[in-house]
Amino acid sequence: MAAMHIGIDSFVAAVTDPTTGEAVGPQQRMADLLEEIELADRVGLYSFGIGEHHRPEYYDSAPAIILAAAAARTERIRLGSAVTVLSAADPVRVFQQFATLDLLSGGRTDLVVGRGSFTEAFPLFGLSLSDYDSLFTEKLELLLQIRDSEQVTWSGRHRPALSGQGVYPRPAQEQLPIWVGVGGSPESFARAGLLGLPLMIAIIGGEPRQFAPLVDLYRRAGAQAGHAPEKLQVGLHVFGYVAESTEAAADTIYPGWHEMFTKISRERGFRQPTRAQFDATSGPDGAFFMGSPETVAEKIRRIADQLGGVDRLSMQMTNPRLAHADLLRGIELLGTEVAPLVADA
C-alpha cells in the first residue's frame, strides 16, 4: 500500500480568543490563517484545503483568493478546496480560478467539488434547492468536459450553452486533479467510481468504519467502468486536533467543539451535544481524530485498514474557541510527529 498523505483543511472559522474572551477580527484571522498555511508547508504536510461557506461564522466564501495568497508564501504544500460548492457555481469560472491558482502555485492545486453540507449558497445565488441533485450532476459533467478539452460544446438546463468556446487559462499540471467530496449517499459513491474520480469522504459523525461498504461500492463501480485501481483514490476529511497528550487535546478543543455543534444542532433539530457524546466521538472508533500524536496516528492506521486503504487524510481543525498558538502547535505536531508515524507504518 502506498504511503498515506496527511494534510489540513480549514473553514477559516471566526474565533473568540479563549484567554481574553475577545473576538479575533476578520483581517487578523486571515493573517493568522496564512501563518498556519506557511507552517504546514514548513513541517512537511502534504496539503492545505480551504472550505467554502456563506455564513457569518466562517470567512471562506472565496477560497481561490485565499489559496492564491498562500501560493505566494509556500513552496511544496498542495493547495486545494475543501470543498468547492459546485452546485452553486459556474463551472467555467471555477475552472478558470483553479487553473490560475495552479499556475501561481507551480502545479500544486487540487480541486475538490461537492454539494456542501449547508444550503445558504442556493438562495444567495438564485438557485432552487429542488434542483439540488440535478445542479451538481450537470455542473460536474461540464467541469470535467472543460478539464479534458480546451474548446467546449455543451448544453444543459442550468447554464447557457457553450458552442465551441475556449476556456482559459489552462493549468500548469497536464490535468487538473478533480476530487468528488461526498457524505453518506450511496449514489454519490457510485457516481464517483463510474467517473473514475478520486473520492473525498467527509466524516463528521458516527464511526468511520461504517463507510467501508460505501468505499467498496465506489471501488466496484470504478472497476466495472474499466478504471484502473490507482485512479480510484480514497481521501478522508475529518475533524481532529493533536496535542502533547489526549487529555490536553480534549481540554483545548472541547469548548469550541461544544459551541460549534450546539449551533448546528439547533439549526437542524438535533439533540444538544454533550460531553459524553464528545468523549465517544473522540474514542477509538469515533469520527473525531483527537489526542496525542501516537493516539491519532494509531487511529488513522486502524481506520485506513478498515476501509481497505486510504490515500489521503485531511484534518479539519476549525474551532471557534481555539487560540492561534494552540492551532499552530496542533499543525506542527501533525506534520512532525503524526505524519512520520503514519508513513512508517
Predicted local distance difference test score (pLDDT) of residue 264: 83
Contacts of 197 by beta carbon, 8 Å cutoff, 6+ apart: 178, 179, 180
Alpha-carbon span 296 to 253, nearest angstrom: 15
Phi, psi of 85 (to 5 degrees): -80, 85
Q: Report pLDDT for 192.
A: 97
Q: What is the value of pTM for the model shown?
A: 0.96
Using the CB atoms, write b or e for 209-233: b if 16+ within 10 Å.
eebeebbebbbebbeeeebeeeebb
Report the C-alpha gap between 260 and 273 in whole angstroms: 10
Helix (H) or strand (E) holding 85: strand 84-85
Q: What is the pLDDT of residue 318?
A: 86
Other C-beta atoms lying within 10 Å of the C-beta of residue 147:
20
Question: 230: pLDDT confidence band, cut at 50, 70 and 90?
Answer: very high
pLDDT (average), residues 24-53: 98
Q: What is the mean pLDDT of residues 148-152?
A: 97
Contact 4, 342 (CB under 8 A): yes
CA distance 211 to 229: 19
Mean pLDDT calculated for residue range 144-160: 97
Percent of the chain with pLDDT over 90: 90
Per-residue pLDDT, averaged over 136-146, amounts to: 98
Quick: pLDDT tens for 169-185: 999 999 999 999 999 89
Q: Which residue has the higher pLDDT, 145 or 271?
A: 145
Other C-beta atoms lying within 10 Å of the C-beta of residue 326: 20
The pLDDT, as a whole number, for residue 49 is 98
In the chain, pLDDT over 70 holds for what percent of residues?
99
The number of helix segments (H) and strand segments (E) in the chain equals 12, 12
Confidence of residue 271 (pLDDT cuts 50, 70, 90): confident
